[in-house]
């Protein structure tokens, strides 16, 4: 009897601990409060939805999408495949109670509570937007056992930590067709993000139809731009999902495309042509002539009508000032107006722009370069160069959003982004200043992505960033995040994202439709080089194909990460753990043997030639790993031969090949270090 009680006690105790560590329920973002009650709500074909707020188009559509997604994942032939407005006599499974239609703007109430009991589910929210967030949670809760599909019974109370939870997509460097944007909006909705920041103009293209200035797309888009209808369609699609759309037109720098169409607005004589390369370029609007402001007034007025959100992004980043320095008229203007440097001149430009935007009922957002003592406080500053900009701006009473640390184009690991908090402990901001930090945005700059690869750079890492913006600050256990990330990764595919399926297609193309397995084994342990290294190793431009091994390789390669973790855990043991030892040996044997299998395929597919050496490096490194493990197991001392060979092999493997790097090197180096002394 005592034994049984002990067992019961430990089970309950374990579940409490698990709950505290947030390991129990596979949700991302993790909710604010959750109480698990341990039973199952069984889903049958009679499952139905009833909602109280009949005038919400948004809720009606989301409820119907919910039923489709539920049917798709369960194979159930639902008898009530359309959500039912109140008054029906159906025995309803899911009741949605909302008070009002939410106005889609900063700070709208997105909270909800969800109660799943054995026979009934109730979702309550102040607004239909909160209800949408709750429905996404419920879809993530779907589970199966041998009896069928079910939702675990529980009670959730949830609300976001930050009110601005964004993803920026750059559609200027590489154009992203409507379907790319739509499927990413679906991904954002799944992880409760609420701002889509659309980077629509840069040196490499102007991407929106302008009826006032048709030359913009005629001369500066290569025919790749969004029509009015498409913009409206996307805004509606986003609104249906409770997502705001904020357009960005980058000025006065990053303006080559605009100046290709309107060279008379430049700070240096033209002509200009669409920039095909990547980097920071000189062409800059002339802030000292009235023509510039007349143009921007009309263009931004037109765009302000097209984009209903109250915020409007003017870029403002990376103006190198070279054209301003070289222009005598501009220098005279600065002297005459007591403008002492380029930053002050840009502030003068921004102030005039702010008047224009205010006239068009818009609030200004800009990158952190727009921060200047002369600019009024009613703007939002997007901090990208460092955290200090965020602290300085918030301390002075500006609203800020954080993007520094969320640059997903830089191929950093998920854990890095996940632990990057907009308000880290110890930040030098008083509580009343902290409220100026509205949230953050992940930024998908598109120099190195195409419509085919972009999803694999955004997802799944952005789901972890979304959790950072939504969930309580203390939900920050990295191992647990990675566990839940695996699940959301798969779920994201169910709404149409291509980050998993395109990988297989890319491998078939790379191998010339030969066996893809050996290439897969190699790519699973490599990653594209980080930060801005890729373009420095091999110059790329807008026409460069993004179909090579470096493009198929993904950030935060899971197999390599898990190998590194296993090595760490193996080395931390005082006594040799044969299970771990054998797992490492098995893995290393596969990698060692892979080169022989891949070489014949490389011969049939010249595009793979550039990674032949990488395949050899993996094989050599794995062989070294096997030798080290053997030494450790047999308590032998290292031979002088292995010492010099080993150092050489490790150093060779550190050199990037075909703009990729081998991600198991640090683990082998640690193993090697463990037998040296
Ligand atoms: C930026 O990355 N230039 C905002």
Distance of CA 43 to the CA centre of its chain: 32
Query: How confident is the model over 431-455, as a mean pLDDT?
Result: 98
The band of 16, judged by pLDDT with boundaries at 50, 70 and 90, is very low
Sign of the alpha-carbon torsion through 464, 465, 468, 469: negative
- Mutation choice for ligand 1 from 317, 440, 532, CB with most ligand atoms inside 8 A: 317
Q: Which is the closest atom of ligand 1 to the Cα of 445?
A: 2
Distance 318 CA to ligand 1 centre (A): 7
Distance 393 CA to ligand 1 centre (A): 17
657 backbone φψ class: left, alpha, beta (φ>0; ψ -120 to 50): beta
pLDDT in tens, 520-535: 999 999 999 999 999 9
Q: What pLDDT is recorded for position 90?
A: 57
Q: Is the peptide bond before 441 cis (omega within 30 degrees of 0)?
A: no
Q: Which residues are catalytic?
A: 318
Confirm or reject: Cβ of 470 under 6 Å from ligand 1: no
Q: Which is the closest atom of ligand 1 to the Cα of 407?
A: 2
- Find the farthest-apart pair of alpha carbons in the chain and give their distance in angstroms, rounded: 94
- DSSP for 595-657 reads HHHHHHHHHH-GGGGGGHHHHHHHHHHHHHHHHHHHHHHTTPPPPHHHHHHHHHHHHHHTS-B
Confirm or reject: Cβ of 320 under 6 Å from ligand 1: no
Q: What pLDDT is recorded for position 91?
A: 66
Query: How confident is the model over 141-160, as a mean pLDDT?
Result: 97
Q: What pLDDT is recorded for position 4?
A: 46
Q: Is the peptide bond before 51 cis (omega within 30 degrees of 0)?
A: no
Task: Return phi, psi of residue 77, to 5°.
Answer: -90, 90
Confirm or reject: Cβ of 384 under 6 Å from ligand 1: yes
Q: What pLDDT is recorded for position 642?
A: 84
- Mutation choice for ligand 1 from 204, 318, 442, CB with most ligand atoms inside 8 A: 318
Question: Which residues, in sequence order, are CB contacts of 143 under 8 Å at separation 6+?
Answer: 149, 150, 151, 152
Q: Give the domains, in start order, of the chain with CATH numbers.
A: 33-158 (3.30.379.10), 164-488 (3.20.20.80), 502-674 (no CATH)
The band of 10, judged by pLDDT with boundaries at 50, 70 and 90, is very low
pLDDT in tens, 54-82: 789 999 999 999 999 999 999 999 998 88
Task: Return phi, psi of residue 271, to 5°.
Answer: -75, 165
Record the pTM: 0.95
Nearest CA to ligand 1 atom 3: 317
Confirm or reject: Cβ of 318 under 6 Å from ligand 1: yes
Sign of the alpha-carbon torsion through 183, 75, 45, 35: negative
Which DSSP category does 263 fall into? Answer: G
Distance 439 CA to ligand 1 centre (A): 17
**Is beta strand 84-85 parallel, antiparallel or unpaired with respect to 112-116?**
unpaired
Q: Which is the closest atom of ligand 1 to the Cα of 318?
A: 3
- Mutation choice for ligand 1 from 366, 367, 405, CB with most ligand atoms inside 8 A: 367
Task: Tell me the C-alpha distance between 646 and 624, whole Å.
Answer: 7
Q: What pLDDT is recorded for position 23?
A: 47
Task: Tell me the C-alpha distance between 410 and 328, whole Å.
Answer: 39
Confirm or reject: Cβ of 112 under 6 Å from ligand 1: no
Confirm or reject: Cβ of 385 under 6 Å from ligand 1: no
Residue in the block written with tokens 């909710």: 31
Confirm or reject: Cβ of 39 under 6 Å from ligand 1: no
pLDDT at residue 7 above 70? Answer: no
Confirm or reject: Cβ of 281 under 6 Å from ligand 1: no
Q: What pLDDT is recorded for position 641?
A: 84
Distance 176 CA to ligand 1 centre (A): 19
């Amino acid at each position: 009897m005592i034994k049984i009680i002990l067992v019961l006690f430990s089970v309950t105790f374990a579940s409490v601990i698990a709950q505290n560590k947030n390991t129990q329920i596979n949700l991302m973002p993790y909710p604010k409060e959750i109480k698990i009650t341990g039973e199952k709500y069984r889903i049958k074909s009679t499952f139905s939805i009833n909602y109280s707020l009949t005038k919400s188009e948004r809720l009606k559509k989301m409820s119907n999408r919910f039923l489709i997604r539920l049917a798709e994942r369960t194979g159930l032939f639902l008898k009530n495949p359309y959500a039912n407005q109140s008054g029906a006599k159906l025995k309803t499974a899911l009741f949605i109670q909302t008070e009002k239609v939410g106005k889609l703007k900063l700070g709208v109430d997105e909270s909800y509570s969800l109660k799943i009991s054995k026979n009934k589910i109730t979702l309550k929210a102040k607004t239909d937007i909160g209800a949408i967030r709750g429905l996404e949670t419920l879809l993530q809760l779907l589970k199966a056992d041998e009896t069928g599909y079910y939702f675990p019974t529980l009670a959730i109370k949830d609300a976001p930590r930050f009110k601005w939870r964004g993803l920026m997509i750059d559609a200027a460097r590489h154009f992203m067709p409507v379907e790319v944007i739509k499927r990413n909006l679906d991904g954002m909705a799944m992880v409760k993000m609420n701002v889509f920041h659309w980077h629509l103009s840069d040196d490499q293209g102007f991407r929106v139809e302008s009826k006032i200035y048709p030359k913009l797309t005629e001369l500066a888009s290569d025919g790749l731009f969004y029509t009015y209808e498409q913009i409206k369609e996307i805004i509606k699609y986003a609104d249906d999902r409770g997502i705001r759309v904020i357009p960005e037109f980058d000025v006065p720098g990053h303006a080559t495309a605009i100046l290709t169409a309107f060279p008379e607005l430049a700070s240096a004589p033209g002509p200009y042509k669409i920039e095909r390369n990547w980097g920071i370029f000189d062409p800059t609007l002339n802030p000292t002539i009235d023509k510039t402001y007349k143009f921007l007034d009309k263009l931004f007025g037109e765009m302000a009508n097209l984009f209903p959100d109250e915020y409007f992004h003017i870029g403002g980043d990376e103006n190198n000032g070279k054209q301003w320095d070289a222009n005598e008229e501009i220098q005279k203007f600065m002297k005459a107006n007591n403008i002492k440097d380029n930053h002050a001149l840009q502030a003068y430009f921004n102030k005039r722009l702010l008047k224009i935007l205010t006239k068009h009922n818009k609030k200004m957002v800009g990158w952190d370069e727009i921060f200047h003592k002369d600019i009024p406080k009613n703007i939002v500053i997007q901090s990208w160069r460092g955290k200090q900009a965020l602290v300085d701006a918030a301390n002075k009473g500006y609203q800020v959003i954080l993007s520094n640390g969320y640059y997903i184009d830089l191929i950093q690991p998920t854990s890095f982004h996940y632990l990057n908090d907009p308000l880290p402990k110890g930040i030098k901001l008083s509580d009343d200043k902290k409220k100026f930090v509205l949230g953050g945005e992940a930024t998908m700059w598109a120099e190195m992505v195409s419509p085919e690869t972009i999803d694999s750079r955004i997802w799944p890492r952005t789901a972890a960033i979304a959790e950072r913006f939504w969930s309580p600050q203390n939900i920050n256990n990295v191992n647990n995040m990675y566990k839940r990330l695996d699940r959301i990764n798969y779920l994201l595919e169910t709404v149409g994202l291509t980050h998993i399926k395109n990988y297989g297609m890319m491998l078939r193309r790379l191998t010339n439709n030969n066996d893809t397995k050996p290439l897969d084994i190699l790519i699973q342990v490599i990653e594209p080089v980080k930060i801005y290294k890729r373009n420095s190793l091999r110059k790329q431009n807008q026409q460069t194909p993004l179909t090579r091994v470096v493009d198929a390789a993904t950030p935060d390669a899971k197999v390599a990460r898990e190998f590194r973790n296993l090595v760490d855990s193996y080395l931390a043991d005082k006594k040799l753990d044969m299970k771990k030892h054998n797992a490492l040996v098995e893995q290393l044997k596969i990698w060692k043997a892979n080169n022989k299998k891949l070489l014949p395929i490389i011969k049939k597919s010249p595009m793979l030639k550039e990674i032949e050496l990488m395949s050899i490096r993996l094989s050599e490194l794995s062989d070294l790993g096997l030798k080290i493990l053997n030494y450790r197991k047999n308590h032998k001392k290292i031979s002088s031969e292995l010492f010099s060979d080993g150092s050489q092999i490790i150093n060779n493997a550190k050199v990037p090949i075909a703009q990729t790097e081998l991600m198991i090197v640090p683990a082998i180096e640690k193993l090697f270090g463990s037998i040296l002394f």
